[in-house]
Chain A
Amino acid sequence: MRHVHPISIRHLTRRFPPARKGGPERIALDRVSLDIHAGEVHGLLGPNGAGKTTLCKILSTVLLPTSGTATIYGFDVVTQARSVRPLIGLVFGGERGLYSRLTARQNLRYWAALYRVPRRQVTDRVETLLARLGLAERAHERVETWSRGMKQRLHLARGLIGDPKVMILDEPTAGMDPVAAREFRGLVRELRGEGRTLLITTHDMAEAEAVCDRVTLIDGGRLLRTEDPRTIGRWVSAHERVDAADVPEPILSNLESLPGVARVERLSRGAVRIHTSVEGATATVLRTLLDAGVTRVATTEPSLEEVYLHVVGNRGMRV
């Protein structure tokens, strides 16, 4: 039997007409190709305007591509949109996307009907989701009275109401406080455990690193790389950092002259950060520091943010 990916994208391009007459056409997606495996949590990482939301909208049948194809479990998002829609749960970040004057329960019951949840299952599914997302106690309150984080959790519940095999989460933690964001990561792991496939867009490196199996870097509508987050980390292992405190001044000169040391950054109160540019340079730096009697030392793994900077360049951080 032919293996069918939950999400398969081939040469997908989306252009938008010029905002004003005579202006340039905007290319939101430029010949994007990507396969996402069953049960995978896939991160789409990029700055604002990179094309993440456009891709989400096309995959969820809300927007048509200019050219190329995208399929969900083999169903084409353009020609077989009706078959695609029951398979997908779509979640946008932010405050919009809910009937704010209604209660959470009313919202979920409505969306359950739109997703054709069998009548007998509606109450059970709504209450289960409310409990799962920690919203049960306030489910009778108008959504407009809720905090942004609670609304975001309701967005997730709404996205899950149709019991989708594929979830598309566009900036799902936008507006969440750190505690809620951590809970969200736990939920993502649970969803993966249930066999769902998730596509998560974010410009938060830590989030992508924490929850994703693979991460695709996107910028200017083009996919730059798709890798395991740890693999991406290894790309810039040459750019590992060593933080040290109470480093004698002469040692600093020695460090700067070591092979593979890119620069020594002076931090506040005598602390320094040594940036390496060659794999293995970290070990030399550590030996040098220890030989000099410096014991307050820490190495830090490169974050996805740094990976992004190295792969995309400085433009990527102007979000």
Chain B
Amino acid sequence: MRVLLAAARLQLATFRRSPDDLMVLLTVPLFTPIFLVIAKHAGRLDLAPYAVLAPGIIAMLSMALNTSGEIIERDRWGGTFELTLATPARLPVIVLGRVATVTLASLLGIAESWLVAYLMFGIAVPVLHPGAFVLTLTATAIATAGTAVVFAAVFVWTRSARTFQNSLSYPLLLLGGALVPVALLPEPLHPISRAVYLSWAADLLRASLAPGPVSALWPRLGIVVGLGAVGYVIGFALLRWVIHRARTTGKVGYA
């Protein structure tokens, strides 16, 4: 627990000293007006919750890809990776502490989006099922952190992590139903989309803003957490592989 907290503090201190890591939170307020204007001019202000929620989800995923995804890579280039391996602390715990902090920071994007909608358009999107909303947001954050561990482990050994980061974000946002619900996507995409935790999470978040009851909350939450758990399992296995590779070959990645 102590190492986890130390890693979280390190990440917070890094944020304070490197605000560029939080750049996504500056772009979120730009997305909200775009989506809201489209909804407004289409005469579909009933879609305002979709328009307000989407930028928050985009922020969460972008920070998982770009900031969390680069945690090990940056340590590697900074020469701290090997020194970390030489300490009694476990790398997966350190990565988890840092990734969790990034994920928590990314949640600010959701608050920002709500604020922008209210301040710029006077639209206050009510959270009609606050319990479901908070639970879903928590489950989403947990699953996002797990997925971010996978990104951090994968990007460190890819030759062109930046290309992956850039090209992965759009498919994930599409398949994750960040703006458009999965149900509206072409039928062949549904099975793939349902394997992405975000698609379940985004649907649940939207449902918690809608007037009707939130159906099958617990099973759907379970799926979000379950898919997130799969992310942790894969992520930690990949981290073990990264450590093993570093120790056996003397190299961490291919770059």
Interface membership of B18, Cβ < 8 A = yes
Bound form: Cα–Cα A23–B215 in Å? 63
Cβ–Cβ < 8 Å partners of A60 in chain B: 86
Interface string of B1-29 (1 = CB under 8 A from A): 01101100110011001100000000000
Tell me the residues in window 92-137 of chain A with beta carbons closer than 8 Å to chain B beta carbons.
92, 94-102, 106, 109-111, 113-116, 119
Most buried by A among B3, B13, B14, B94: B13
Interface string of B74-92 (1 = CB under 8 A from A): 0000111011111111000
Bound form: Cα–Cα A114–B4 in Å? 9
- In the bound complex, do residue A85 and residue B83 qualify as a contact, i.e. CB atoms below 8 Å apart? no
Interface membership of A57, Cβ < 8 A = yes
**Residue of A16, A17, A97 touching B79 (CB-CB under 8 A):** A97
Cβ–Cβ < 8 Å partners of A114 in chain B: 3, 6, 84, 87-89, 94
- In the bound complex, do residue B79 and residue A94 qualify as a contact, i.e. CB atoms below 8 Å apart? yes
The residue in chain B whose Cβ has the minimal distance to the Cβ of A159 is B83
Tell me the residues in window 33-79 of chain A with beta carbons closer than 8 Å to chain B beta carbons.
54, 57, 60-64
**Residue of B78, B86, B94 touching A85 (CB-CB under 8 A):** B86
The residue in chain B whose Cβ has the minimal distance to the Cβ of A119 is B2
- Shortest CB-to-CB span from A18 to chain B, Å, is 12
Bound form: Cα–Cα A85–B94 in Å? 16
Bound form: Cα–Cα A215–B9 in Å? 42
- Shortest CB-to-CB span from B109 to chain A, Å, is 23
Interface string of B85-106 (1 = CB under 8 A from A): 1111100001000000000000
Cβ–Cβ < 8 Å partners of B219 in chain A: none
On whether A62 and B86 interact (CB within 8 A), knowing A97-B78, A114-B6, the answer reads yes
- In the bound complex, do residue B247 and residue A142 qualify as a contact, i.e. CB atoms below 8 Å apart? no
- Shortest CB-to-CB span from A121 to chain B, Å, is 13
**Residue of A61, A64, A95, A106 touching B86 (CB-CB under 8 A):** A61
Interface membership of A86, Cβ < 8 A = yes
**Residue of B13, B80, B88, B247 touching A64 (CB-CB under 8 A):** B247
Bound form: Cα–Cα A293–B212 in Å? 113
The residue in chain A whose Cβ has the minimal distance to the Cβ of B250 is A63
- In the bound complex, do residue A99 and residue B78 qualify as a contact, i.e. CB atoms below 8 Å apart? yes
**Residue of A61, A64, A96, A109 touching B248 (CB-CB under 8 A):** A64
The residue in chain A whose Cβ has the minimal distance to the Cβ of B89 is A114
Cβ–Cβ < 8 Å partners of B167 in chain A: none
Tell me the residues in window 198-213 of chain B with beta carbons closer than 8 Å to chain A beta carbons.
none
Bound form: Cα–Cα A109–B82 in Å? 18
- In the bound complex, do residue A62 and residue B17 qualify as a contact, i.e. CB atoms below 8 Å apart? no
- Shortest CB-to-CB span from A161 to chain B, Å, is 10
- In the bound complex, do residue A115 and residue B250 qualify as a contact, i.e. CB atoms below 8 Å apart? no
Bound form: Cα–Cα A109–B83 in Å? 15
Cβ–Cβ < 8 Å partners of A86 in chain B: 88
- In the bound complex, do residue A115 and residue B88 qualify as a contact, i.e. CB atoms below 8 Å apart? yes
A-B residue pairs in contact (CB < 8 Å), sample of 18: A16-B249, A62-B85, A62-B246, A62-B247, A90-B86, A94-B79, A97-B83, A98-B78, A99-B14, A99-B78, A99-B80, A100-B78, A102-B14, A110-B6, A111-B87, A114-B89, A115-B89, A162-B88
| Interface, chain A (partner B; CB < 8 A) | 16-17, 54, 57, 60-64, 82, 85-86, 88, 90, 92, 94-102, 106, 109-111, 113-116, 119, 142, 158, 162
